[in-house]
Amino acid sequence: MIDDLKYLSVEHDDAVVRVRLNSPETGNALSGVLLDELLAVLGALDDHPTLRVLILSGEGADFCLGGDLAEFSALHSPETGNAGMRALANKARRMCDLLANTGLVTLARLHGGVVGAGLGLAVFCDLRVGADDSQYRLPELRVGVPPAWGGITARMLYETGAARSRELLLTSERFDAAKAAELAILHRVVPEDQLDAVVDRWTEPLLKRSPSALRTTKAMLNAYAGAHRLADAPLFDAELMTAAVAAQAARAR
């Protein structure tokens, strides 16, 4: 599908594409390069009209430990108006938009740590299964930035409800897979060695469905979700992230 990928592993056949975050030494941190690769892969899906299912997973001990905080600091540059940070935040929003709006049914296979932007990436998938010992957290406020990565706040509000999202975002508390299922972040919780079996059980009936019917259903679900939003607030997320990183850097001087 896409050659020369450094931080992603991609396998596909006629109907299923498997995308694995493949930077375990960083906890699969969502750096700018990794976002570029995700954008390229997701942008190429329309070139394969027989695809029906996308399975997203992570290599190593964790699914994804969030954004690359060291990169945030490196991109802070008042001389350029923080253009690098703004560009990174816009990449995240575009990538999440592609993931949410693809006609494929997207399955998230979650294990280990699912943190910050990693949790954001997961909730943009249609169906999510997590290992029973997986751990979840939205630590943005604790590290001094707003929860403005890729439109995560709007997605969390829609997926889990306003009251529950408010608690997760304001407290930054870690929670386990059972709590994630209670919050509708996970659809299934199983031992880690059964994750693939659940993914296969979801995939099997989807492969028997009409590709056009699946795509139409996804479009309908996205349209209904959009009808509940009063404004496209995620469009402001890049500016919020950039301003927060700039303010944090100013306090550190």
Largest Cα separation within the chain, whole Å, is: 59
Give the model's pLDDT for residue 243.
46
For the chain, the structural domain boundaries read 8-194+223-252
CATH superfamily of 8-194+223-252: 2-enoyl-CoA Hydratase; Chain A, domain 1 (3.90.226.10)
Residue-by-residue pLDDT tens, the chain, 253 positions: 677 899 999 999 989 999 999 999 999 999 999 999 999 999 999 888 889 999 999 999 999 999 877 776 665 556 655 677 788 888 999 999 999 999 999 999 999 999 999 999 999 999 999 999 999 999 988 877 777 778 888 889 889 999 999 999 999 999 999 999 999 999 999 999 999 999 999 999 999 988 888 889 988 888 887 655 544 555 445 544 554 444 454 455 5
Dig out the tokens for 85 from the structure.
């940070």
Give the model's pLDDT for residue 78.
64
User: What is the 3-class SS of 177-229, one letter each residue?
Assistant: HHHHHHCCCCCEEECHHHHHHHHHHHHHHHCCCCHHHHHHHHHHHHHHHHHCC
Q: Find all residues with CB under 8 Å of 119, minimum gap 6, and list them.
A: 66, 136, 137, 138, 152, 185
Helix, strand or coil for residue 160?
A: helix
Q: Are 44 and 12 in contact (CB under 8 A)?
A: no
pTM: 0.86
Give the model's pLDDT for residue 180.
97
Query: Which class for 175: exposed (0-12), middle (13-18), buried (19 or more C-beta within 10 A)?
Result: middle
In this structure, how many other beta carbons lie within 10 angstroms of the beta carbon of residue 45? 18
Dig out the tokens for 22 from the structure.
């493949």
If we measure between CA atoms, which residue out of 152, 184, 186, 185 comes closest to residue 169? 152
Beta strands 53-58 and 105-110, pairing class: parallel
Q: Find all residues with CB under 8 Å of 196, minimum gap 6, and list them.
A: 109
